[in-house]
């Protein structure tokens, strides 16, 4: 069982973020539980890379002196799996918002779906979703979006090394992506729909790897909390 000194000197915790939790909520929950379990007044806790509330999967949580390594972990390549739904777009590019436009899909073949992935491989320019936490003029982009205010978004240079289609079930396209820091899979889903002369949005997203860390080795928040008091 870990001690107060262990967490203060620094730990790297692998957490499997549940659906609907924000990354910030996970950090706050774990910080409170660590402080409560060991009667610690103050401890640094942070995460290495935000996951959207509608995404699940690997969060790297650093405590104590290991928070200095957060930038290093954030910079590592990440792997995601998920599902893209063809034929409809949403303002958030995922299921946070309702479908705002529908498009034909009858012309899309399985061959076209596999071929379309190729144009997203390598170094590409990507526009982040307006529903994102990126700051502009001191505000988060999603604040502009929710207020209905138009805002100019700059593209970012990202790298996608793997974009693999793992299953096609009608308009539901399962995938695996390996990409660089700063990649928005929601934007990839949106742009993928455009590439197929249709529309698309992200319906499922799970982060499976960050660098050499794998979600298979991660604990749920509940399991981690239980481990604090279990020998």
8 A C-beta contact, residue 206 and residue 81: yes
CATH code for the structural domain at 4-75+212-229: 3.30.2350.10
More confident: 113 or 139: 113
pLDDT in tens, 60-93: 999 999 999 999 999 999 999 999 999 999 999 9
Q: What is the mean pLDDT of residues 136-154?
A: 64
- Kindly list the distances between the CA atom of residue 89 and the CA atoms of 33, 53, 75, 94, 169, in Å, as whole numbers in the listed order: 40, 19, 30, 8, 18
pLDDT in tens, 3-32: 889 899 999 999 999 999 999 999 999 999
> Which pLDDT does position 160 carry in this prediction?
98
- Secondary structure (3-state) at 60: strand
Q: What share of the chain is helix, strand, coil (3-state, %, to 5)?
A: 30, 30, 35
- Other CB atoms within 10 Å distance of the CB of residue 81: 19
Question: For residues 23 and 31, what is the distance between their CA atoms, to the nearest angstrom?
Answer: 12
Please count the helices (runs of H) and the strands (runs of E) in the chain.
Answer: 7, 13
Task: Look up the CATH architecture of domain 78-210.
Answer: 2-Layer Sandwich (3.30)
The DSSP secondary structure of 196-218, one letter per residue, reads TTS-EEEEEEEEEEETTEEGGG-
Domain spans of the chain, in order of start: 4-75+212-229, 78-210
Q: What is the mean pLDDT of residues 32-46?
A: 94
Is residue 96 predicted with pLDDT exceeding 80? yes
Helices (H), 49-155: 70-74, 110-116, 141-146
Annotated catalytic residues are: 52
Question: For residues 38 and 4, what is the distance between their CA atoms, to the nearest angstrom?
Answer: 6
Query: In CATH terms, are 4-75+212-229 and 78-210 the same topology?
Result: yes
> Which pLDDT does position 128 carry in this prediction?
85
Whole-model pTM: value is 0.92
């Amino acid at each position: 069982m870990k001690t107060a000194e262990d967490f203060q000197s620094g730990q790297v915790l692998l957490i499997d973020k549940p659906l609907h939790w924000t990354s910030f909520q996970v950090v706050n929950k774990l910080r409170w539980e660590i402080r409560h379990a060991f009667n610690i007044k103050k401890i640094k806790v942070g995460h290495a890379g935000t996951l959207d509330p509608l995404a699940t999967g690997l969060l790297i949580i650093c405590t104590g002196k290991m928070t200095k390594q957060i930038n290093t972990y954030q910079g590592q390549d990440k792997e995601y799996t998920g599902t893209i739904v063809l034929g409809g777009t949403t303002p958030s590019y995922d299921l946070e918002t309702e479908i705002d436009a529908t498009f034909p899909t009858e012309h899309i073949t399985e061959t076209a779906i596999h071929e379309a992935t190729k144009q997203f491989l390598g170094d590409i320019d990507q526009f982040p979703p307006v529903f994102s936490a990126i700051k502009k003029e001191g505000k988060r982009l999603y604040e502009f979006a929710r207020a209905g205010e138009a805002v100019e978004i700059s593209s970012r240079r990202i790298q996608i090394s793997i974009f693999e289609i793992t299953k096609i079930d009608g308009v539901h396209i399962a995938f695996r992506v390996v990409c660089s820091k700063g990649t928005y899979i929601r934007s990839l889903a949106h742009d993928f729909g455009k590439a197929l002369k249709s529309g698309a949005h992200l319906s499922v997203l799970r982060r499976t790897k960050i660098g050499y860390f794998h979600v298979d080795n991660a604990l749920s928040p509940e399991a981690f909390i239980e481990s604090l008091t279990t020998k």
